[in-house]
Chains A and B, each alone.
Chain A
């Protein structure tokens, strides 16, 4: 059985405490704390010692998706010193200005493959350019982004083939034409199942679909279903 959980941002955008409260009773093993906006980062880090996260066997933190060149050093320092060492830090590669500021994170830094609005980090080839600069960084594979870039899932196949060793976390959701995270559709499920066998069962899966409290359990079940390999040899 896959280990799944939600991104706090998907459950309550900008309200990680509210998201934690909503998720507590569902007892998922995985969690991603989201600080997608830079203004969320400091309050989130300051709140960490006061959160009850004992139910979770896997926790990651999503770094801000956008900051200025002048804020970059502050963001990197905050993450490096404020986030527990065993937590992966997911980052959008297009947010980075100076890659040398991020090399010290090593495998803790998980580069996320991007949706098609972004100029870099969308394909295996584009990711390889980033890993040349951050050779020790790991991969947070967003299967919804990969499908949005190439519905045949060839690009997903290439990313997973090429960076299998780097894979540390999966993001899952339907990514619509406006690049918003929606609940997983039947079409997305069929596509995700094509490459599901390439994702080891022990890799934590974070659901990014924006769902209401009532939809949480059914969406988790959809995510597990979507990552059940479909193709028989």
Chain B
């Protein structure tokens, strides 16, 4: 089992190296850590060896701001019991009592989930949008509150499915060692989020458009990037290609799982920062990327009231789609997301780096 590290050394190293000041990210990390302590204490007796309370979203990513939800799931990996429903209701009550904003009762989170669908239903008709969402977020950004046993087992078992069944990874003629089954599911989830954005625009015309749009361009895109980075890590972590060939020769599924768990134990921004550390010639783009993200977090965290009496976050959440043009907050959000997008293009759509080559090879076709 791997505990998520609190320090963000790679991100801090990049901050220093590029002469940047990403204070909003620092504050968000600190807020997330305190929130986690508070929630862990409040839910002290709810997790067991067979049931973990798993949190995804901004709190899990270390990007918590004042308006953030606690996107929790009671993850069950053992016998089903009639009391499970009651347990989930009680968790909701405890979080209400300590005034935490929670997801709706009918969504992907805020309820109990069995490990079986997450492990066994990857692809095919029964892998619903909700199941994919739960599985990919569990992999890429989840933390456990309290006992991590079930969470850890389920992560290992999901990774086992992706890796063990990836024939190309072990026996393919391609010298690149990127787990395509996993990569394709991460890419599929990214496209699903983008399609769902359009779907929600149609079904929820009255609000939320701009906040969802900004999150799609920033935190959702970050998640896709991180999914790519963990897949590419399977290839890039070997300095000597001969070591890579030797390593993959014996189909060491468990060793790859162990490595991926170590990487995934870091928050997404830290995973991305670690991947970018070797590329100091790209420091301008690196600075651009993280500065944009820092400003995005700063915008969500800004509690200053605008003339209309709303915070920037609430303004983004309520602004009608017809009024976006010319709106200063909308313009600021768009400008931040464009800088983020441009930095990603500079870093990942280039043949000058190993990451760029892999992105072109795997990320497009």
Question: Hey, which bits of chain A sit against chain B, CB under 8 A?
Answer: 116-117, 123, 125, 149-158, 161, 177, 194-195, 231-233
Q: Which residues of B contact A156 (CB under 8 A)?
A: 254
Within 8 Å by CB of B157, from A117, A123, A152, A158, lies A152
Q: Is the CB of B253 within 8 A of A194?
A: yes
Q: How far is the CA of A161 from the CA of B152 in the complex (A)?
A: 19
B241 within 8 A of A: no
Question: Hey, which bits of chain B sit against chain A, CB under 8 A?
Answer: 1, 49, 78-79, 149, 152-153, 156-157, 159-160, 249-255, 257-258, 261
A152 and B153 contact, Cβ closer than 8 Å, known pairs A157-B255, A233-B249: yes
Q: Is the CB of B251 within 8 A of A150?
A: no
Within 8 Å by CB of A125, from B1, B156, B157, lies B1
Q: Is the CB of A231 within 8 A of B1?
A: no
Q: A123-B1, A150-B153 are in contact. List 15 more A-B contacts (CB 8 A).
A: A116-B149, A125-B1, A149-B149, A151-B156, A152-B159, A152-B254, A153-B254, A154-B261, A155-B156, A156-B254, A158-B254, A158-B258, A161-B255, A195-B254, A231-B250
Q: Is the CB of B156 within 8 A of A177?
A: no
Q: Which residues of A contact B156 (CB under 8 A)?
A: 150-152, 154-155
Q: Is the CB of B250 within 8 A of A152?
A: no
8 A-B pairs with the lowest CB-CB distances in the bound complex, closest first: A157-B254, A152-B156, A152-B160, A154-B254, A154-B257, A154-B156, A152-B157, A233-B250
Q: Is the CB of B254 within 8 A of A149?
A: no
Q: Is the CB of B250 within 8 A of A151?
A: no
For the complex formed, measure the closest distance between the CB of A54 and the CB atoms of chain B, giving whole angstroms: 40
Highest count of chain B CB atoms <10 Å: which of A125, A154, A177, A194? A154
Q: How far is the CA of A16 from the CA of B293 in the complex (A)?
A: 67
For the complex formed, measure the closest distance between the CB of A69 and the CB atoms of chain B, giving whole angstroms: 25
For the complex formed, measure the closest distance between the CB of B53 and the CB atoms of chain A, giving whole angstroms: 17
Q: How far is the CA of A127 from the CA of B230 in the complex (A)?
A: 28
Q: Which residues of B contact A157 (CB under 8 A)?
A: 252, 254-255, 258
Q: Is the CB of B78 within 8 A of A154?
A: no
For the complex formed, measure the closest distance between the CB of A232 and the CB atoms of chain B, giving whole angstroms: 8
Q: Is the CB of A177 within 8 A of B49?
A: no
For the complex formed, measure the closest distance between the CB of A15 and the CB atoms of chain B, giving whole angstroms: 32
Within 8 Å by CB of A177, from B78, B149, B257, B261, lies B78
